[in-house]
Structure 1
Amino acid sequence: MVEYSELINKDISVEDAITRNVLDKQNVSEEFKLNTNQRKYDKQYFSMYQYRFKNLKDRIHINSLEKWGDGTKKVDGQLVKKQDKILDITSGQLCWVIGTVFCDLKNKLNILQDVEKGTDDIIPNIPDSYIGDDDDTSLAVMIEDESGRAILHNEEFLQKNILVSGCIVGVLGIEIQAGIFEIMDIAYPTFAPQPPLSLETGSGNNKIALISGLNIDYHVNDIKLDLLTDILTGELGSEKERDLIKSISKLIIAGDSIRPLKIIDNGEDFVTTNNYGSKIQSRFDSKSVEKFDKFLSEILPSLPISIMPGNNDIAEICLPQQPLHKSTFHNNYQFLSDPNYLQNLTNPQWFEINGIKILGTAGQNVEDILRYINKSSDVNNEEVKSDKILSIMESQIKWQNFVPTAPDTLYCYPYDDFDPFIFEKETPHVYFVGNQPKFGSEWYKYDDDKFVRLISIPKFSETGEIILLDLDNLQTEVIKISV
């Protein structure tokens, strides 16, 4: 970890510019880019769920048969049978079945209740947790298909294995009473193909920088932001540290670049605004937008930048979030047409850099899952949340679905017979999420020679941390700016 607090107010002589490595090959996917005709809400979400289930069911079936068989294997001395439908489950018979997980939680948003209250035309406040207090007993995790539902029972198992609404899984167990299924084991989909990747020890001179949560505010003089600019342009640091900065070939900003104004609240559980601003006032200060634009212009063209929108940016709230409006980049408009300088991207986003498949999000998909597993008493405990981030990311790889809670509790566009959030064609080599409370990085190995590097990117405005990813060996390190 590199600390820059000692370099403040020091007179450091530097060259006018630094020379960086050029990436051999870089690509961004257009998979999440929507045209005008696609950005409509005249479709039902049913076909999206159906597509998800159809795509993942056969892959779960493969793993389930291998683990449990169908009348050919025994567990605890009892023969295991496959059931095609939840309705076919027989009490006392050990079996397995494939279905969609549904969580019935106390604090989950409910559109039917909103209609009843007459508040379905405004955006509701999202609770910090969908679960009540520690003594709350309203939590119910179910498995469902077109034939019916069964409540999953086994608290110890469910605490060790994260399951949230929208996951498609196979479950092994036994019906202990009508509609209550004692879960004993779980099966996930087979993994989508992952392109071969040969890692090297490398020279350490080929890195990308990952950052999120800049939360730029015109009214706040953030010294960390000024230092960040100087560091990325090579105008601050010792010779050794500047050599480290030279190794950075690209900067990816993973959402929440501009701090929004305080949301107007009507005193109830609903807000009178949306991400474009209410009828009364905008959620964003134009001066803060200009400050962000100026920040970019000071780094460009010294360092290529890719920008993804986040929950607090000037973008739609629905996933996939579309690129920020071009007017945001008034001083950098000339760079938008050249992907080697400034890429204005969607959230989520697929990257391909030097043959490495990278998937990134601004963090809403992880934050929403935290609401399923954090009790109300835990929501302000950053350590509790941090400990669960990488576990959630690992679970998303297992589910082969990195946004399972859309559209149940996370806003998304109603795709027609398609789900862009499942791993259908490929599994990434690197998966990062932005705007998390703490940095985290680990390998998730799911086969003898298959792995995913998981990276949790913290909010820069709170931690002053920049994450470096080495493209030669997929190792990570942190630059920390302390003031």
Structure 2
Amino acid sequence: MVSATKKTVDTRRFYHNTGQLFADQYYHIYNARLLESRESLIRNSRFRWGDEVKNVPLEQLNSSLGSTDVFVIGTLFKLMPKQPSILRELEENEAVVTDPNHNFTKDEDTLILHETDENVRVVGDIDVSMHVTGIPVSLLGNQLDGGAKFHVKDVCYAGLNLSVYKEPKKTEKVGGKSQDERLLIISGLEFGFDFITSKDRTNEIVAALKKLRNFVTGTSTKEEVNGFNGTKISRIIIAGNSIASGYAKAKSEYLGSSESKDTRSLTEVFELFDKYLFTLAQSGAIIDLMPGKNDPTSFLLPQQPLHPKILPKSGVLENIHPTTNPALIEHNDLLFLGTSGENVLAIKQYSKIEHSTTILRSTLEWGHIAPSAPDNLSCVPFKGKDPFIIDFAPDVYFAGNQPEFLIDTYSTEDKSKIQIVSVPSFVNTLTCVLVDPSNLEVEPICFAEK
């Protein structure tokens, strides 16, 4: 693969002025996505198939080409009979499917390639089940049925433009030994969880939260963090869903108080989280606070930072950094790109890609964080740009609120290692993820009772 010219990554790419955006329609974002990906698709196609293969616009795809191999560029759209439709549900009086584990794929699913105002049905050597709507692609093959169909022989994606690559800094040495510095990634704290958990499970989560606090502030016992004693946490990334979806009730045991209430409002639950966040911040670690689908901010991606007014205690601290979802965080010349997991769930529901890390790897190959937005994942109707395009190479790429801890790596000719991390939901697994910035090694740390 040929690299693009190196450039500076805009770490504020996911921030936006909402009031200026909603006069536009959603088709603009697909046009912007294809326009921004086209150069990479053509470059990668030439590298993969050679300069002798001709690129043909869809409008020129007709019987005059015969069986000649050409490549076409466009955006995939997946036609799915089982895909939820509000109008169909109203017409047939069916309930909306809300199970996040429900999969909408079917053997009858088909793919359409769209370019500007032209469409062609895609057949041949392309696995429909492993793709979703919104992926910019280049397809090698030949026309069929006078250009009504395109028979695929090979597929090429935009991938990473590799516009930025920075070597990880070596950890500083003190007294001949390297500092045991780590970054901690947490997701799914879900304050208010006791509304939907049993008393015994609530006690387990509360105990784990206390151990987590002690670990971050350096007051843990050996039994609490076996094998991680002396670890200094320099940065904490909280990857969404700090508030539970069922938040009507939350006990003050979170804070070790003897006071108890049966029910609490969202404001009161968030006050508990604010106080807990304040205790974590006393460690001096930088804390990047990402929102998630359960948290009080717009549900449209990219979600904007939580408003400081709902964090009256911790929000005024200099080391608390409310940020976006997705988030792009720079730490000692390392780039951390991550989401709270909505993109992974959407792809899991509309394809047969099973594992979180496989999905994340696929989005790197596709060159897009959330291709199914806006079709199957709500997002802002951007015009003239698509901030979800991955036109840089992150060092760590993660998704929060996953069912389990998993890791993988992705490499290119220009970048030897991109660490891919599936960050488990804390409330479900009592587990966080530690990242060593010196070598990008990742390991889980569990706070469950031994």
User: Of 335, 339, 344, which residue of structure 2 is paired with 1:361?
Assistant: 339
Q: Identity across aligned pairs (percent)?
A: 30
Which residue in 2 is equivalent to 1:408? 375
- The higher-RCO structure (CA 8 Å, 6+ apart) is 1
Which amino acid in structure 2 is aligned with residue 412 of structure 1?
C
User: Of 1, 13, 20, which residue of structure 2 is paired with 1:31?
Assistant: 13
Whether the 8 Å CA contact 1:260–1:283 is kept in 2: the answer is no
Which residue in 1 is equivalent to 2:393? 427
Which residue in 2 is equivalent to 1:174? 142
User: Of 351, 372, 376, which residue of structure 1 is paired with 2:329?
Assistant: 351
Matched, 1:320 2:302: yes
User: Of 80, 104, 117, which residue of structure 2 is paired with 1:131?
Assistant: 104
Which residue in 2 is equivalent to 1:377? none
Matched, 1:205 2:189: no
User: Of 212, 218, 222, which residue of structure 2 is paired with 1:234?
Assistant: 218
Question: Could you tell me how far 1:237 is from its partner in structure 2?
Answer: 2.5
CA gap 1:46/1:283 in 2 versus in 1, 3 angstroms: farther
Whether the 8 Å CA contact 2:61–2:143 is kept in 1: the answer is no
Whether the 8 Å CA contact 1:260–1:285 is kept in 2: the answer is no
Question: Could you tell me how far 1:146 is from its partner in structure 2?
Answer: 2.5
Question: Could you tell me how far 1:124 is from its partner in structure 2?
Answer: 8.6
Q: Which moved more, 1:239-248 or 1:186-195?
A: 239-248
Render the CA deviation track for 1:143-171: whole Å, top value 9, x for unaligned.
1213532332247x416x83211111101
Stretches of structure 1 lacking an aligned partner (at least 5 in a row): 1-26, 73-79, 264-281, 375-383
Whether the 8 Å CA contact 2:159–2:366 is kept in 1: the answer is no
Whether the 8 Å CA contact 1:204–1:472 is kept in 2: the answer is no
Counterparts of 1:199 and 1:185 in 2: how far apart (Å)?
39
Whether the 8 Å CA contact 1:89–1:95 is kept in 2: the answer is no
Which amino acid in structure 2 is aligned with residue 392 of structure 1?
I
Q: Which moved more, 1:444-453 or 1:462-471?
A: 444-453
Question: Could you tell me how far 1:441 is from its partner in structure 2?
Answer: 1.5
Matched, 1:88 2:57: no
CA gap 1:449/1:32 in 2 versus in 1, 3 angstroms: closer
CA gap 1:460/1:28 in 2 versus in 1, 3 angstroms: farther
CA gap 1:257/1:129 in 2 versus in 1, 3 angstroms: same
Whether the 8 Å CA contact 2:192–2:243 is kept in 1: the answer is yes
Counterparts of 1:371 and 1:190 in 2: how far apart (Å)?
22
CA gap 1:368/1:191 in 2 versus in 1, 3 angstroms: same
User: Of 146, 149, 153, which residue of structure 1 is paired with 2:123?
Assistant: 153
TM-score, structure 1 as length reference: 0.76
Matched, 1:307 2:289: yes
Whether the 8 Å CA contact 2:58–2:120 is kept in 1: the answer is no
Which amino acid in structure 1 is aligned with residue 288 of structure 2?
S
Counterparts of 1:86 and 1:451 in 2: how far apart (Å)?
40
CA gap 1:212/1:41 in 2 versus in 1, 3 angstroms: same
Counterparts of 1:242 and 1:67 in 2: how far apart (Å)?
47
Question: Could you tell me how far 1:287 is from its partner in structure 2?
Answer: 3.3
Question: Could you tell me how far 1:241 is from its partner in structure 2?
Answer: 5.1
CA gap 1:41/1:58 in 2 versus in 1, 3 angstroms: same
Counterparts of 1:432 and 1:284 in 2: how far apart (Å)?
31
Counterparts of 1:204 and 1:442 in 2: how far apart (Å)?
25
CA gap 1:142/1:36 in 2 versus in 1, 3 angstroms: closer
Whether the 8 Å CA contact 1:317–1:411 is kept in 2: the answer is yes
Counterparts of 2:406 and 2:380 in 1: how far apart (Å)?
30
Question: Could you tell me how far 1:199 is from its partner in structure 2?
Answer: 5.9
User: Of 352, 361, 386, which residue of structure 2 is paired with 1:394?
Assistant: 361
Q: Which moved more, 1:184-193 or 1:213-222?
A: 213-222
User: Of 46, 63, 67, which residue of structure 1 is paired with 2:44?
Assistant: 63
Counterparts of 1:207 and 1:85 in 2: how far apart (Å)?
50
Whether the 8 Å CA contact 2:166–2:334 is kept in 1: the answer is no
Render the CA deviation track for 1:333-355: whole Å, top value 9, x for unaligned.
431xx2xx211111111111111
Which amino acid in structure 2 is aligned with residue 214 of structure 1?
L
User: Of 464, 468, 474, which residue of structure 1 is paired with 2:440?
Assistant: 474
Render the CA deviation track for 1:40-88: whole Å, top value 9, x for unaligned.
4211122222211111112111111222235x3xxxxxxx543222651
Whether the 8 Å CA contact 2:190–2:242 is kept in 1: the answer is yes
Question: Could you tell me how far 1:324 is from its partner in structure 2?
Answer: 1.4
Whether the 8 Å CA contact 2:62–2:143 is kept in 1: the answer is yes
Counterparts of 2:228 and 2:92 in 1: how far apart (Å)?
61
Report how many residues are paired: 406
CA gap 1:114/1:351 in 2 versus in 1, 3 angstroms: same
Give the secondary-structure state (helix, strand or coil) at the position aligned to 2:350: helix
Matched, 1:456 2:443: no
Give the secondary-structure state (helix, strand or coil) at the position aligned to 2:111: strand
Stretches of structure 2 lacking an aligned partner (at least 5 in a row): 1-8, 173-177, 195-201, 249-262
Give the secondary-structure state (helix, strand or coil) at the position aligned to 2:410: strand
CA gap 1:142/1:196 in 2 versus in 1, 3 angstroms: same
User: Of 71, 77, 86, which residue of structure 2 is paired with 1:102?
Assistant: 77
CA gap 1:104/1:36 in 2 versus in 1, 3 angstroms: closer
